[in-house]
Amino acid sequence: MDIDAIRAGKLQQLSGVRLEDEELSEAALQKANLVGASLAGCNLHRAQLNSAHLEGANLTGCNLAEADLRANLAGANLIQANLTEADLRGSNLRGANLMQVNVSGAAMAGAFFSGANLANANLQSADLRGADLRGCNLTQVNLQGANLQQADLRGATLLEANLEEADLQGANLAGANFSRANLLCARLQGVNIDGTILDEAYLVGTELAQV
């Protein structure tokens, strides 16, 4: 496989390819077909993957820091990947496995995460405005200082999650489970908490006003 050609964007049809542990930083992979590809351990720092097809791809342990990931990542495996300050605005991550990922400071406004597994992920200070997080597993996730305004968290599991100083204004939390979650000084004005579980949640300093 010609790695230089891939980095330069000259090869676009890469469905099912195995490119594990390769150096692909700043690669031009816009609109590339990487469905089912294995890129485990690759360095994709600042890679351009906007409009790429990564459905079912294996991105375990990849370095995707500052990458443009406005792509289709439905069902992809991103366990322990580094996505710090990546651009995931409007991305499709439905059903993806994002356990233990580092997404701190990433832009994820309007992204689709429904049914995704984000357990133990670091989303500190992430921008998740208007994101679809329905039914997600957010157990023990770090959302400290995250922006979740107008996000849809219906039926999500946030057991022991850290939402200290998170902004959830206008979010839909119906049926979500926040048992033992830390909501210290979180902003919850205008939220929908119909059926929301807050057993043993830490709510000191929380600004709560439901719709």
Q: Dump pLDDT digits (tens) for 40-58.
A: 999 999 999 999 999 999 9
- Those residues with Cβ within 8 angstroms of residue 4's Cβ, 6 or more apart along the chain or in another chain: none
Q: What is the average pLDDT across 44-73?
A: 98
Placement of tokens 């485990």 in the chain = 40
Q: What is the average pLDDT across 197-207?
A: 91
Domain 88-211: CATH class, spelled out: mainly beta
Q: What is the DSSP string of 120-170?
A: T-B-TT-B-TT-B-TT-B-TT-B-TT-B-TT-B-TT-B-TT-B-TT-B-TT
- pTM value surpassing 0.95: no
- pLDDT tens for 157-176 read 999 999 999 999 999 999 99
Enter the tokens of residue 107: 């832009």
pLDDT band, residue 209 (cuts 50/70/90)? low
Q: Contact 41/60 with Cβ under 8 angstroms?
A: yes
Q: Contact 90/69 with Cβ under 8 angstroms?
A: no
Query: 100: left (phi > 0), else alpha (psi -120 to 50), else beta?
Result: left
User: Has residue 63 got a pLDDT over 80?
Assistant: yes
User: What is the rounded average pLDDT for all residues in the chain?
Assistant: 96
- pLDDT tens for 94-147 read 999 999 999 999 999 999 999 999 999 999 999 999 999 999 999 999 999 999
Q: What is the average pLDDT across 191-203?
A: 95
The pLDDT of residue 84: 97
- Displacement of CA 19 from its chain's centroid (Å): 23
The pLDDT of residue 2: 87
What percentage of the chain reaches a pLDDT higher than 70?
99
The pLDDT of residue 1: 74
Residue 53 φ then ψ, to 5°: -105, 110
